Amino acid sequence: MHVDEGGILPHFTGVLCHDHWKPYYQYTQCQHALCNAHHIRELERAWDQDGMQ
């Protein structure tokens, strides 16, 4: 699925909270916020799989 397919994001002017997926940054008419739930999952994976402490 292409990110423009729904027709919403090209016109969105609010705060777009997302997982840092690079295609989202093509939307310059809105502000970007990164989702902390994704940060937590990535940190948990690093702890569990990589032994990062």
Predicted local distance difference test score (pLDDT) of residue 5: 86
Rg from Cα positions in the chain: 14
- CA 44 to CA 12: how far, in whole Å? 32
pTM of the model: 0.72
Alpha-helical (H) ranges within 1-53 are 36-50
> What are the pLDDT tens digits along the chain (53 aa)?
588 888 899 999 999 999 989 999 999 999 999 999 999 998 898 889 887 66
